[in-house]
Amino acid sequence: MARLHYEGGRLTRVQPASGSPFNLGQMCIKGLCAPEIMYHPSRLLKPLKQTGERGSGKWREVSWDEALGEIASRLDRIRKESGPETIAIGQGTGRHHFMHVIRFANSLGTPNWYEPGMANCLLPRITVSRLTYGGYPVADYYGEVAPRTILFWGHNPVVTGPDGELSFPVKKALRSGSFGIAVDPRRSETARRCAMWLPVRPGTDAALALAMINVIMDERLYDREFVENWTVGFDRLKEHVAAMSPRWAAEITSVPAADIAAAARRYALEKPSVLEWGVAVEQSANSLQTVRALAILRGLTGNIDIPGADILGMNIIRPYPTLKNTLPSDSNKKRMGFDQFKLLAGFRSSMPTAHIPTLFSAMLTGEPYPIRALLIFGSNPLVTVADSHMVDKALRKLEFLVATDLFMTPTAALADYVLPAAFWPEVNQLVELPYVAENAVLVQKKTAQVGECRQDEEIMIDLARRLDLPGSEQGLEEILDYRLEALGKSFKDLEGGTVIFPPHEYRKFEKEGFHTPSGKVELYSRAIERLGYDPLPTYREPAESYAASPELAEKFPYVLTTGSRRKEFFHSEHRQIESLRSRRPDPIAEIPPGIAGKHGISDGDRIWISTPRGKIVMKARVSAEIVAGVVNIEHGWWFPEKEGPEFGLWESNANVLTSSRPPFDPAFGSYQLRGLLCAVERVDEAGD
């Protein structure tokens, strides 16, 4: 929650407000810089039409009526000529318009919408949780009982603060005495606040989790009453992990066996315990089984829906009406990845979405059918999607590209139309927290208007009406009123900043069971088995690693982990904001002393980092708080101060190094973004 101060109709200052259990009267640096972002001289204020060749940088300001009229006309022609599935819709993560993009895609008739992280961020955790417990668990920092143990796994909420919910409650819990355990290749900002650090080799998390399960079972540390009454598959799981000892896992993960056992004992015995899992556990070709292994830890120890543990959501408001039924059933089968990735793009997905590598390949090759148009809402795929060179070729091959954003980006510079998006003080929406669980709802109301910027949902509603799509008669406020009906409220009647947070109901399973086929926590998942996947979690070595590809490791001898974030930025956003950029002016690569010494690298040196896909330059930070042989790089880098249309896109962009090629996770289509192989050179050492 925030208090916004205006003078003469202009936002001058933002302060944190009290009354929310999520920000605890505090605010991140990005929120405090809202006036600077909102009135930045580079902000897009009017619709732009590209008048030269794509990427030429020749623009003409046009009216909203002209822009949306032309966009609707082009979309209408394409869908009539080749079918709506040849139109794709993309969006960025963590956006207020996330669910409305799905609604717009369904009403348009295209199954091909995407968000850059769906296969590699959150969807595997949501889907696995629903298959295992029948709901999505979130940490209970808000009741009378505090967690005694918090296991942070591939997660750095002290910096990342996902969905605006975790940073401040996590800090408070650790300050108040919760025992923190961090599983991370680097001693992150969160790990530094923890009592125990398990420095895992990137990509081997499943082996570590399986060994912890082994300890909990072998030493009979599980919650016997809960296991007996509320789980299925215990005996099969016990037999399955019998050989997966801490010693076995230590050889794979680099974490000492004694530390693995100690962490398992602490999590199982010092209850209530919370498992804070992050995107790192999903960013491999073994995503399903890694997330399953972690999910089982909660079930074995009974840390489900009890005070101070991981609790199942209350879902206090109605789901967003995504008009799922308006999408023809035969269109589902045309979704990119439908047949191959059943838990991402198929009928069993929690949120069916296109497989991004398959979708961008179709843009480029026309197989299995052409993708002719792409509408992007708040995303910069040239920087945020794996294999930037392939993305660039795919975007240039499109017949029609539209981007909606706050600023001109390398992606928007390639568009036929660029539409100016509203910033958060210019937006009407409901914010449900924690995300997916929906235990509370916050009311966000528009308080400002800058230029001709428009809210993304309103842009989509206008397009839907011009195309006469199903549901287009409903305005945004009607949709929000529908969602609030269960609480007996209307959006108009509530003030901006209102927080509705009913008391939590614990142990819901004692009344209604778990919402799984068995009514219990499924340690052995028959639903997963019926889909053709392993019903018990397994470990698979990353395809690009010392063990799996020793010849490649001779040329690229180090392990690369990507995706490190900084609180000043949101993925690829805010690098043109002076007060934020001045705090983090350069892209950073963390390297251990061993690598630095071998290559004569000192702190602050410019270094090349290369993989089989390409190379980028970053500034070295030599740190002993990272696993030996591992290189950690920040993602999302481009340079708005440099000349467009590329804006320094190829210089320090982590996704120049990543790959969107197989192997993919069989169920989710996830691909390896961590645990890749790389080489390092000092810039002058390389002769550059």
Please give the average per-residue pLDDT across 25-33, as a whole number.
Answer: 92
- Alpha-carbon distances, residue 171 vs 20, 121, 141, 162, 266 (angstroms): 15, 23, 11, 14, 20
How many other CB atoms sit within 10 Å of the CB of residue 555?
A: 12
pLDDT greater than 60 at residue 686: no
pLDDT in tens, 113-154: 999 888 998 999 999 999 999 999 999 999 999 999 999 999
424 dihedral zone (left: phi>0; alpha: psi -120 to 50; beta): alpha
Q: Do domains 42-120+318-423+447-473 and 133-314+508-530 have the same CATH topology?
A: no
- Alpha-carbon distances, residue 42 vs 78, 210, 477 (angstroms): 33, 50, 30
Residue 269 Cα to chain centre, angstroms: 31
Pairing outcome for strands 59-61 and 310-312? unpaired
Pairing outcome for strands 674-682 and 558-564? antiparallel
42-120+318-423+447-473 fold? Rossmann fold (3.40.50)
Q: How confident is the model at residue 688 (pLDDT cuts 50, 70, 90)?
A: low
Distant-in-sequence, close-in-space partners of 105: CB < 8 Å, separation ≥ 6: 89, 111, 112, 113, 327
Please give the average per-residue pLDDT across 374-388, as a whole number.
Answer: 97
pLDDT in tens, 462-517: 999 999 999 999 999 999 999 999 999 999 999 988 999 999 999 999 999 999 99
Q: Give the helix/strand (H/E) hosting 430.
A: strand 429-433
Domain ranges of the chain: 42-120+318-423+447-473, 133-314+508-530, 550-682
- The total number of residues written for the chain in this structure: 688
Q: What is the DSSP string of 297-346?
A: HHHHHT-BSSTTSEEE----SPPP---GGGS-HHHHTTSTTTTT-TTTTS
pLDDT greater than 90 at residue 17: no
∠ CA 651-657-663, nearest 5°, is 160
What does the mean pLDDT of the chain come to?
A: 96
Distant-in-sequence, close-in-space partners of 483: CB < 8 Å, separation ≥ 6: 317, 318, 319, 320, 321, 430
**Rounded to two decimals, what is the model's pTM?**
0.96
d(CA 367, CA 350): 26
pLDDT in tens, 425-440: 999 999 999 989 999 9
d(CA 286, CA 282): 8
d(CA 26, CA 545): 42
Phi, psi for residue 639 in degrees, rounded to 5: -130, 90
d(CA 33, CA 44): 18
| Closest to 209 measured CA to CA, from 258, 253, 256, 155 | 253
133-314+508-530 fold? Dimethylsulfoxide Reductase; domain 2 (3.40.228)
pLDDT in tens, 597-638: 999 999 999 999 999 999 999 999 999 999 999 999 999 999
Residue with the two structure tokens 């009344």:
511
Please give the average per-residue pLDDT across 242-258, as a whole number.
Answer: 98
How many other CB atoms sit within 10 Å of the CB of residue 674?
A: 27
| 3-state SS assignment for residue 499 | strand
Q: Which residue has the higher pLDDT, 358 or 350?
A: 358
Q: How confident is the model at residue 19 (pLDDT cuts 50, 70, 90)?
A: confident
The amino acid that residue 563 corresponds to is G
- Quote the pLDDT of residue 685: 59
Pair of tokens at residue 376 = 């992007």
Which CATH code fits 550-682?
Answer: 2.40.40.20
